[in-house]
Chains A and B, each alone.
Chain A
C-alpha cells in the first residue's frame, strides 16, 4: 500500500529517488537527490571530504569511517540510464586502521594516468590492554589503477608523518624517511585534513593541522608540506616542509587545503591563530632563485566579530585575483562568506569584505567547507548546520557586481536528515553546472552519509 502510494507520487512527477528506476522519465525530469547512501559497513561511512570527478563522470572520494563503517577510498560510477538510484559504488581501498579513526578526512587528488593521491589523518588505537595506546600521525598515499585484467589498485605510502607525540608505525605499507626542512624538531606534522593540490611537475602540496614547530606543544602550529615525485633513476618520493606554523600571529592549525597561483605562490587558511586568535588567510611565496626558504605573509587576521572567525575551508581565486572563502563562525555569528581584495597599486594591505553573513537556523549556519566559482562569477557552497540550527544547506551566492549592487544569496537545498545531513565538504560541479557533494550523515535510514546531487 505504501509503496503503491510512493509509486503514484513518483509517476505523478514527485520523483522518488529510491524508485526512480521504475519510472525513468520522471527521474530524468527531476534528477536532484541522493546518488548513494552509505550503508555504514564495508561500503564505508561518514564521508566528510570533497569529491573529485574524472572526465567520464565517475566520482572518487573518501569515507572517514566510524565504529562499524569502513574508512575507504571509493568510486561512484554512473549508470547509462542516468537515474540517481543506479550509481554503483566500488571500494578502491579499505584502510586497515579499524575503528580508530585512521581514515582519510581529506579528499583525493587526481594525477596523470588516473593515479589518485590522498592522505589519512591518523588516529589513536583503542586501549590495547595494559593502558597501551598507539598513536598514528597520518600518511600521504598513492593509489595506482589496476593493471589490465586486474581489479586491484596498487597502494603506496609516499610519506608517513611522524610526531614524537604520536609515535607509531604506518597504517598502510612502509614508512619513508623525512627529508628537507625539519623546523627544528623531529616532528614533521600530524593530521593532514585538507585536500592536496598537484603542480605541473606532479608535486603535491598539502597541510597538516598539528605539530612540527619545535617551540610548541604536541599540537602546536601545523605545517605546509610538499611531496615531490622521484627524480629520474630513483624510486623515492621526497618530503619537504615548506612552512611550520608557530601557532601565534602567523596562524595555527590549518584544516583546509591550499590553492596555487600562476607564480607558484600558495594560499590557505588557518582556523586559529593570527593577530586576534580567530584564524588567518596566509600566502606562502616560493623562495627566490638560489634560496630555500618560503616566505609566509598573513593576508588577513580575523577579528572574530562581524568579519568572521574560524576559517575552515579552502580559498578560491576570482577575477582580479580576489580570494573568496568562508568562516565557520561561532554560536553567536554562525559564519560568513568573505572576499579578500589584493592591495591597490602602491598599497600593501589586502582588503577584507564580508559578502554574506549567515544568520543561523535553516537559512544556513556554519559553512565549514570552501566555495566553488562558476564561469559567471557565482559562488556555491554548503553550510554544515548542527543541533538547534539545521541539517545543513547548499547555497548559491552571487557577489555584487555590474547589474547587482548587493550580493544575492539563495538556499538551493535544505537537507532534511534522510536525504543527507551535515555536509562538511566543498561542492563539485559537472560540465552542465549540476552540483555534487557529500553529507557526513543522513542519506538513508541508516544515517551513514551520502553523495548528493543538486541542480541549481
Chain B
C-alpha cells in the first residue's frame, strides 16, 4: 500500500498527504463499512464481537474448530466472574450469524483465572487448556495461584453443562527432572496432545531455583484411576541464553518436542530406552540486533522438517519478523535461519505475536498485533517461492481498522474450505472488547 502510493508522481509532501488520505479514515461512523485497504486481499467479517461482560472479553488466543464448523476459544476477561471464560461459537442454521455460548466462566479460585492460551480438542470433543493464574493457592511457592491445566468435558446427557476438571495445579506436581527444585508456574501457552493422549506444555516461570520456566508432560490416569501425573521434562536456568517460555510446543514423528524461549529455539529429545531424562538441544540462538531478543511464537513444522515461527520484536526494523529454520544438511549440525519477512511498522504493521498456520499449498498465514504508530494489526500471507525462485511473497490480507478488530495477539486457523478464522483482543465493535473474525481469501 505504501509503495503503491509512492509510485504516484507527486512531490513528497503531497504524496504523503495523498497517500495518507487514501488510507485515512472515511468519514466518521462509516469506516467499518468501507473497503479502506486497497491492498487487502481478503474479506473480513466479524462473526462475534464480545461485550466484555458475562459473554467474555479480550480474547488473547486463537480459536479451535470442530468438524461441524463450531469455534471454541478463551477470553482473558469477562465471564460471570470477570476472570475469563471459555466460549463456543455455533453457526446458526441457514448460515446466517453465529450464536455464542459460554461453556465455563472462571471464578478466579480453584478452577483458575485469566486464560491466555487457546484450546485443543480431542476426538471425544473434550477441550483442554491452561489458565495462567488461579488454581490452588500455594503461597509457600514463588507464586500464589500459579495456574492450571484444565479439561472441559462436553455435556452428557446433551443439554446439561460442560464439566471442568482441573488436571493439574501449578505448583503441585512432582518435579522429577534433574536440576528442578520446583514445579513450573504460570503457563502462558496452550497444550499439545500426543497419540497416547498425553499433554505437553510450558510454564513461563518455576522449575529451577532461578524460576526460569519449564516444559512439562501430563500423563492420563491409568485405567480405573482419576489422577493425571505431571512430569517436568526440562527446567530452564538463567545460565541458558533463552528462558521464560511463553509459547507452546510442536512434536515431530519421532516424538521429539520443539519449542521457543525469549532467545532460543530448542529441541527436547525423548529419553533413550531405559533412560528417564529428556535431552535439550539448542537449535538456534537469536543473536540480538537484527534478529532480536524478543518473544518467539509457537512453531509449526513443514513437511520438510523446517520450523516456522514469528518473533514479536527484532528484525531489520525492530518490528518483528517471520523466520524459517531449516534442518542441517547432511554431515552438518547447524540449523539455518532465514528471515522470510521483517515488519517495517506503520502500514506494514508490527509485532507478530501469534505464530503461523500453514495451508495445504505451503502458504503461511499469520497476524500482527500492531500498536500506536504501527496500525491496528493485520492478517498476512507468505507464499513459498516458485520453483527456481528464492523469495517468499508477502501480502497483507487485511488491515484492521479498530471497529472490525484491533490488536490481534493470536494466530489464524484454516478450515478445509480455505477460510481463515482468528480473534482480535480488542476492537470488533464500538465496545472494543475483542472479536472472532473470518477471513475469506477467495482461494
Contacts and interface: CB of A to CB of B under 8 A. Distances in A.
Given A37-B25, A388-B57, A14 B30 contact: yes
Contact of A39 (B20, B37, B430): B20
Given A16-B34, A417-B403, A419-B25, A391 B432 contact: yes
Interface in B18-48: 20-32, 34-38
Contacts of B17: 85-86, 88
A417 B31 contact: yes
Nearest to A18: B21
A443 B373 contact: no
A391 B375 contact: no
B7 to A, nearest CB: 15
Given A17-B25, A85-B17, A419 B373 contact: no
Which of A416, A445, A446 has the most chain B CB atoms closer than 10 A to its own CB? A445
Contact of A416 (B31, B38, B57): B31
A385 B402 CA distance: 13
A169 to B, nearest CB: 27
B431 A390 contact: yes
Interface string A381-392: 000011111110
Interface stretch (A28-36, A158-166, A240-248): A28-36
Contacts of B370: 447
A443 B402 CA distance: 10
Interface stretch (A3-11, A350-358, A367-375, A396-404): A3-11
Interface string A417-448: 11111000000000000000000111111111
B186 interface: no
Contacts, number: 185
A447 B373 contact: yes
B426 interface: yes
Given A17-B27, A33-B27, A390-B430, A66 B373 contact: yes
Given A388-B432, A446-B346, A17 B26 contact: yes
B426 A445 contact: no
A68 B373 contact: yes
Interface in B358-394: 370-376
Interface string A54-79: 00000000000011110000000000
Contact of A15 (B21, B27, B51, B78): B27
A178 interface: no
A45 interface: yes
B78 A16 contact: no
Contacts of B1: 445
A449 B376 CA distance: 12
A443 B403 contact: no
A447 B371 contact: yes
Nearest to A416: B403
Contacts of B51: 388
B432 A18 contact: no
A391 B372 contact: no
B22 A388 contact: no
Contact of A417 (B37, B347, B402): B402
Contacts of B35: 2, 5-6
A190 interface: no
B28 A419 contact: yes
B58 interface: yes
Contacts of A414: 29, 430
A45 B346 CA distance: 11
A322 interface: no
A149 B51 CA distance: 57
Interface string B337-358: 0000000011100000000000
B431 A14 contact: no
A285 interface: no
A283 interface: no
A206 interface: no
B399 interface: yes
Interface residues of B, number: 51
B375 A445 contact: yes
A46 interface: yes
A317 interface: no
Which of B25, B346, B400, B433 has the most chain A CB atoms closer than 10 A to its own CB? B25
A387 B21 contact: no
A155 B11 CA distance: 30
Nearest to A389: B432
B25 A2 contact: no
A454 B29 CA distance: 12
B321 interface: no
B36 A387 contact: no
B16 A418 contact: no
A157 to B, nearest CB: 27
Which of A69, A85, A447 has the most chain B CB atoms closer than 10 A to its own CB? A447
B431 A32 contact: no
A450 B20 CA distance: 12
Nearest to A420: B25
A418 B20 contact: no
B263 interface: no
Contacts of B371: 447
Which of A9, A85, A391, A418 has the most chain B CB atoms closer than 10 A to its own CB? A418
Contacts of B325: none
A389 B373 CA distance: 22
24 contacts: A6-B26, A6-B35, A17-B25, A18-B22, A18-B25, A18-B26, A19-B22, A33-B27, A34-B25, A39-B16, A68-B373, A362-B430, A385-B432, A388-B52, A414-B29, A416-B403, A418-B403, A419-B26, A445-B23, A445-B24, A445-B375, A446-B374, A447-B374, A454-B28
Nearest 9 interchain pairs by C-beta: A417-B402, A40-B373, A388-B52, A419-B25, A418-B401, A416-B403, A388-B433, A18-B21, A448-B373
Interface of B: 1, 16-17, 20-32, 34-38, 50-53, 57-58, 77-78, 345-347, 370-376, 399-403, 406, 426-427, 430-433
Given A2-B38, A388-B50, A445-B401, 5 more contacts: A16-B27, A18-B21, A388-B53, A388-B57, A416-B31
